[in-house]
Amino acid sequence: MTQVVDDTLRVRASSGALGGGLFLALVSAMSFGMSGSLARGLLSSGWSPGAIVLARVGIAALVVAPCAVASLRGRLRQLRAQLPTVLVYGVLGLAGAQFCFFSAVATMDVAPALLIEYTAPAAVVVWLWVRRGQRPRPYTLAGAGMAAAGLVLAVDLLSGADLAWSGVAWALAAMVGLTAYFLIAADTDTGLPPVALTGAGLVIGTVTLAALAAVGLLPMRATLEPASYTTGSTPWWVPVLLLGLVTAALAYTTGTAASRRLGSRTASFIALLEVVASVGFAWLLIDEAPTTSQTVGGLLIIGGVVLAKLDDR
């Protein structure tokens, strides 16, 4: 009888962790999805992509870093012991993924670059299969196929896109960075609290992006002109703060916490909903109504995420 009660409690605890992880993953995807539309207003007013991403990550680092220090409660030795992992997380998973994506869209259309970067869930599945022997099950494979078809429609790739080999290479590098983000964020062996890993990674990412800007690899240009959206013009600092606080600090913190609860595979699939959210925010903020193909693509992505999530049952 005692064994039955213990098993029941463990099942309930596991279900609660999955439910909480799913909520955090959805918050993260919705927050990330807002970034493109907010950035569009700044780009139109004269900001460069490099200045936007550096401001975004830098503000997030200022907000999350104090929370990271508090979460360690004096256990800085533990952070030093995991410094190589944290460096990879910050340089490759945060700064590297964003730098490579912006480098990709400098020579090719955004849609195919986004499609290539978001093959990261498939890369996570392959990595877990090769390195850990976690063979993908039918639901995962079906979900990956459905989500891939949805991505093609959601980014409107069928309407024609400009491809360049250099851009494809940069987009693949962004995919590697995003894959590293999911794998490291879900790693419980580091012993670091999620907010500590996120805070340290954001600081390292900020330093990396600042170094790239200093040597001229990340062009920096900012203005004090108002940013325009469907709702009207707003001071430049409003979208900058939203980018830092919501689309970076909140998005990365909840995303890392969700990966710990759900695992890298499921978290990466749910992150695909960022594409659906970006279409919705583009409609609300910059009056870009979704096309029929984008709507169908969004539904396919949601279906693929649901299929992948069924494996957790």
232 DSSP β-pair partners: 229
**Residue 127 carries which side chain, given as an amino acid letter?**
W
> How confident is the model at residue 139, as a pLDDT?
75
- The residue assigned the tokens 């396919």 is 300
Contact 299, 256 (CB under 8 A): no
> How confident is the model at residue 245, as a pLDDT?
95
Higher pLDDT, 120 or 11: 120
In this model, does residue 16 exceed pLDDT 60? no
Contact 37, 287 (CB under 8 A): no
In this model, does residue 294 exceed pLDDT 70? yes
Query: Residue 47's closest CA among 226, 214, 212, 216?
Result: 226
Per-residue pLDDT band at 3 (split at 50, 70, 90): very low
CA 13 to CA 186: how far, in whole Å? Answer: 18
> How confident is the model at residue 24, as a pLDDT?
93
Query: Residue 191's closest CA among 78, 68, 70?
Result: 78
In this model, does residue 31 exceed pLDDT 50? yes
pLDDT in tens, 134-151: 777 777 778 778 878 877
pLDDT in tens, 233-292: 999 999 999 999 999 999 999 999 999 898 888 888 888 888 888 878 888 887 777 777
Higher pLDDT, 146 or 22: 22
pLDDT in tens, 55-105: 999 999 999 999 998 888 867 787 788 888 999 999 999 988 888 887 887
Per-residue pLDDT band at 312 (split at 50, 70, 90): low
List, as one string, the DSSP characters of 173-190: HHHHHHHHHHHHHT-GGG
pTM exceeding 0.85: no
> How confident is the model at residue 202, as a pLDDT?
95
pLDDT in tens, 281-290: 888 887 777 7
Provide the 10 A C-beta neighbour count for residue 308: 27
> 223 in helix, strand or coil?
coil
Per-residue pLDDT band at 180 (split at 50, 70, 90): very high
> How confident is the model at residue 250, as a pLDDT?
95
In this model, does residue 162 exceed pLDDT 60? no
> Among 26-35, 108-117, 177-186, which stretch is predicted with the lowest mean pLDDT?
108-117
